[in-house]
Amino acid sequence: MGNVRKPEILNPAPTMVLVYGYEQQREVEQLKHFIERLLRQRFGARSEKIAPNQMSLFDEPEAAEEVAEPEDDEPPPTAVSAHRRRGGGRNKLPDHLPRERVEHDLTESEKRCPCCDQTRQRIGEISHEQLEFIPASLKVIEHVRFKYACRECEEHVVLAAAPARPIAKGFAGPGLLSTILVGKYSDHLPLYRHESILSRNGVQLSRSTMSRWVLETAELLQPLTDLMKSRVLQSHVMHTDDTTIPVQDQRLSRTRTGRFWVYCGDAGHPYSVYDFTPNRERAGPQAFLKHFRGYLQADAYAGYEELYRSGRIQQVLCWAHARRKFYDARTVQPEAAHRALLFIQQLYAIEREASDLQQPADCERWWQHRRQLRQDKALPVLEQFRDWLTETSRVLLPKSPVAVAMQYLLSRWSGFTRYCTEGILSIDNNLAERTLRPCAIGRKNYLFVGSDRGGEAAAVHYSLMASCKANEVEPFAYLRDVLSRITDHAADRLEELLPDQWLKQHPESHRPRRR
């Protein structure tokens, strides 16, 4: 027993402790970053505002030393930035609304003067306007066609031609179909809510019937969206983005994930076209963009890489996506994240300066001015930003949240700086994200589409709603007129039914967007 040797306690090597410490620190930062993103997604605000005092931490000390001290005891003047305020008071009621004059007069006894008992004469009037709402109503239109025949020979019977119907052998009129389509794809009302609304008016319509109408009107309007697609593909610049949509599948016990893609044309082709695909494979956007040439403003989805390698499409990436990565990491590595956010804030300040000088009637000159402003002011900021990213990324843990955001920028730097080469390009892809927002709101209400065919029908209707919004067209009036005409409309004059062309013939349906 006395000869038994006690085991030696081996101390870990310093290099092992150092490696373990780095791994532990990296794992802690990743977990904190993950928890922060989950909490913000579940409970936090969607806006990405930064407190001004955070940005003041990075003011250059040299700039502070150059400020001259006042010679007397008077405080230095304070520069106050201009603040745009909304106009006060009540908005004027629109002139296009019908008006009904209701007169309120005195009785004969009230018109008598209390002094001399003579009848007082009218010397003026005071009026005020009251906005009233008349609920929507249903009515039955009975189409009667008369038949004629010859009494002598009792032959040659003729019948008046039947009016065109949006749905063959269907009893739904254009106004009812337009109400259902605008309600679901613009106001986000599922069909079961339409079922309840119509029942309050004494009409029982099942969801299955309305669902069939949605599919059949999509087939009727498909040539119109195909024409918009061909126009969008002629754009010099196109914005695109995608979002998920649950799809019912009879072969599965659960829904599967489909995709809505949106493609927004430029100012010369003001349409937004949706495309539905059963998955997120690259075949979807590659098939849609097969004949497109120009700039594609999008996120860094890998499915676009083959399109960029062809050389006919130039990549323009979104600074809002890059900014979001640094914003999500601001609580884990605040100093580096806020420094990056400060650089991006300067780039957006230059864009606001260009927007303040925009002249809507002269887009070409404004695009030239914006390009020159970016060349003079944005490119130097980008060079400083790139130098700082390269230097700072060397001292950070490679898989830390800020380091990942930096690598995301540096590995795609040409795509992020290409917006400076053309004034028509945007600094971000927010146009496509805003256009996709109705899909995100709608799926919270109707939850899923019933099949791939239902997804394709929804893409047709979303395309028309988004294009009406882009051209400031009232969608109900547009759809009601188009559905009543498209069955008999000549195919070679289909462009007359595009939202921007239709508005020229119906200026009363112009509805400016809220600013």
**Which pLDDT score is estimated for 18?**
45
pLDDT averaged over every residue in the chain: 86
Query: For the chain, what are the domain ranges?
Result: 319-427
pTM reported for the whole predicted model: 0.82
- Distance, in Å, from the CA atom of 167 to the CA atom of 170, rounded to the nearest integer, reads 5
Q: What is the pLDDT of residues 6-65, one digit of tens each?
A: 444 444 445 444 445 667 776 777 777 778 777 766 666 656 666 555 555 445 434 333
CB neighbours of residue 474 within 10 Å: 16
Rounded mean pLDDT of 76-96? Answer: 61
- Residue 61 to residues 53, 57, 337, 377: CA-CA distances in angstroms? 16, 10, 20, 22
Q: What is the pLDDT of residues 247-283, one digit of tens each?
A: 999 899 999 999 999 999 999 999 999 999 999 999 9
Q: What is the pLDDT of residues 371-395, one digit of tens each?
A: 999 999 999 999 999 999 999 999 9
**Which pLDDT score is estimated for 88?**
56
Per the rule left: phi > 0, alpha: psi between -120 and 50, beta: everything else, 197 is: alpha
Q: Is the pLDDT of residue 193 over 50?
A: yes
Q: Comparing 20 with 156, which gets the higher pLDDT? A: 156
Q: Is the pLDDT of residue 89 over 80?
A: no
Q: What is the pLDDT of residues 313-360, one digit of tens each?
A: 999 999 999 999 999 888 888 899 999 999 999 999 999 998 887 665
**Which pLDDT score is estimated for 201?**
87
**Which pLDDT score is estimated for 478?**
97
- Distance, in Å, from the CA atom of 350 to the CA atom of 373, rounded to the nearest integer, reads 8
Q: What is the pLDDT of residues 223-252, one digit of tens each?
A: 999 999 999 999 999 999 999 999 999 899
- By residue count, the chain amounts to 515
Query: Which of 64-73, 218-227, 408-417, 433-442 is predicted least confidently?
Result: 64-73
